[in-house]
C-alpha cells in the first residue's frame, strides 16, 4: 500500500479521539487590580457558569492553534491581544463530563481600555478581579487554569517586563511597578526596578507626562521587542 492509497482511504472518525479545545486566560490591569476576562457559558455542558473564553478549532477558518485563540478573543474583546503565549495543555479523562478532553491553554495580556467598550457591549463577557474569583463557581477546571496562568505571569514578572502588556498603551514607571508588585505579592525597590529597565532600554519615552497629585510622571510605551527580553538576574521573592 502506498502513502497515496493510505491517505485516500484514511478516515479520521474511525478512531476515538479526545475532545480538543483551546482556552485563553486574558489578563488586564486596571484600577490597581489584576483582572481576568470571563465568559458566561450559554450552552451545555456547565451552562450558566462562568468560564474562560475559548472553544473549538474551526478547520476551515484556522490555519493553526493561535488563529483559533485570536479568533475567540476577538469575538469577546474586539481586538487582537499584543501579548499571547502558550501556557500549558491539560488533557485527561475527568475534566469534561463528555469524556476524554484536551485543552490547549494560552495566556494573553491586553489593555483594559482598548476593549472596555466592546466587552461592555458583549452581554456574556466581563472582567473579574483575580482576588474575587473564589466568589464564582467556574466551569470545568478553569479556576485551576487561571491559577497556572497567574503563576506563570508571576514568574515572568521576576525576569521580564511582559506584564507591561496588561497596561494601557502608555503608562508610568510606577504603574508598571505596581503590576509587578501585585503579581509578585511583595513590594519592589523602585530604584532596582527602574535601573534594570533603563539599562536594558526596554521603554520609549513618549515625551508626555501625566500628573494627578504630586510630581508629574513620564509616560512610556513598551518597545515591541521588550516582550522577548529576559534579565540575567531575577528580582528576589
Bridge partners (DSSP) of residue 108 are: 26, 84
Omega before 213 within 30 of 0, i.e. cis: no
2 makes contact with DNA (CB under 7 A):
no
Q: Which residues bind a copy of itself (CB under 8 A)?
A: 1, 3, 6-7, 10, 12-13, 15-20, 44-47, 56-57, 59, 62-65, 86, 88-94, 97-100, 102, 104, 232-234, 236
Distance in angstroms (rounded) separating the CA atoms of residues 79 and 67: 13
DSSP state of 186: S
Q: Which does 94 bind (CB under 5 to 8 A by kind): a copy of itself, DNA, none?
A: a copy of itself
H/E stretch holding 38: strand 33-40
C-alpha cell at 155: 514568574
Kindly tell me which residue out of 155, 172, 206, 229 binds DNA, with binding defined by CB under 7 A.
172
23 contacts 142 by C-beta, under 8 angstroms: yes
Q: How far is the CB of 147 from DNA (least distance, A)?
A: 24
Site for DNA contains 204 (CB under 7 A): no
Which of 4, 9, 11, 213 binds DNA (CB under 7 A)? It is 213
Enumerate residues 79-118 that contact DNA by CB under 7 A.
none
217 sits near DNA (criterion: CB under 7 A): yes
With respect to DNA, which residue has the nearer C-beta, 22 or 153?
153
For the bound state, the minimum distance from the C-beta of residue 83 to DNA, rounded and expressed in Å, comes to: 21
Q: Report helix, strand or coil for 155.
A: helix
* Cell representation of residue 150: 497567574
- Min. distance of Cβ 166 from DNA in angstroms? 17
Is residue 139 helix, strand or coil? coil
Residue with cell 472596555: 116
Q: How far is the CB of 160 from a copy of itself (least distance, A)?
A: 13
Please name the helix (run of DSSP H) or strand (run of DSSP E) that holds residue 24, with its range, or none.
strand 19-30
| Residues near DNA, by CB under 7 A | 172-174, 188-196, 199, 209, 211-218, 231-233, 235-236
Amino acid at each position: 500500500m502506498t502513502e497515496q492509497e493510505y491517505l485516500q482511504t484514511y478516515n479520521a472518525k474511525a478512531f476515538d479521539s479526545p475532545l480538543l479545545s483551546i482556552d485563553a486566560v486574558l489578563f488586564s490591569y486596571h484600577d490597581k487590580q489584576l483582572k481576568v476576562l470571563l465568559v458566561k457559558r450559554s450552552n451545555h455542558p456547565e451552562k450558566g457558569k462562568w468560564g474562560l473564553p475559548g472553544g473549538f478549532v474551526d478547520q476551515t477558518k484556522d490555519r493553526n492553534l493561535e488563529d483559533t485563540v485570536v479568533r475567540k478573543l476577538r469575538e469577546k474583546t474586539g481586538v487582537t491581544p499584543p501579548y499571547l503565549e502558550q501556557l500549558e495543555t491539560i488533557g485527561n479523562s475527568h475534566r469534561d463530563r463528555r469524556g476524554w478532553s484536551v485543552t490547549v491553554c494560552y495566556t494573553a495580556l491586553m489593555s483594559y481600555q482598548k476593549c472596555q467598550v466592546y466587552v461592555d457591549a458583549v452581554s456574556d463577557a466581563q472582567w473579574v478581579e483575580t482576588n474575587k474569583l473564589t466568589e464564582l463557581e467556574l466551569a470545568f477546571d478553569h479556576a485551576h487554569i487561571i491559577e497556572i496562568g497567574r503563576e506563570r505571569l508571576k514568574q515572568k514578572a521576576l525576569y521580564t517586563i511582559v506584564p507591561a502588556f496588561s497596561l494601557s498603551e502608555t503608562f508610568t514607571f510606577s504603574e508598571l511597578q505596581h503590576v509587578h508588585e501585585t503579581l509578585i505579592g511583595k513590594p519592589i525597590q523602585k530604584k532596582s526596578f527602574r535601573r534594570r529597565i533603563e539599562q536594558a532600554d526596554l521603554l520609549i519615552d513618549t515625551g508626555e507626562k501625566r500628573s494627578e497629585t504630586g510630581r508629574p510622571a513620564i509616560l512610556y510605551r513598551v518597545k515591541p521587542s521588550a516582550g522577548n527580553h529576559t534579565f540575567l538576574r531575577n528580582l528576589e521573592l
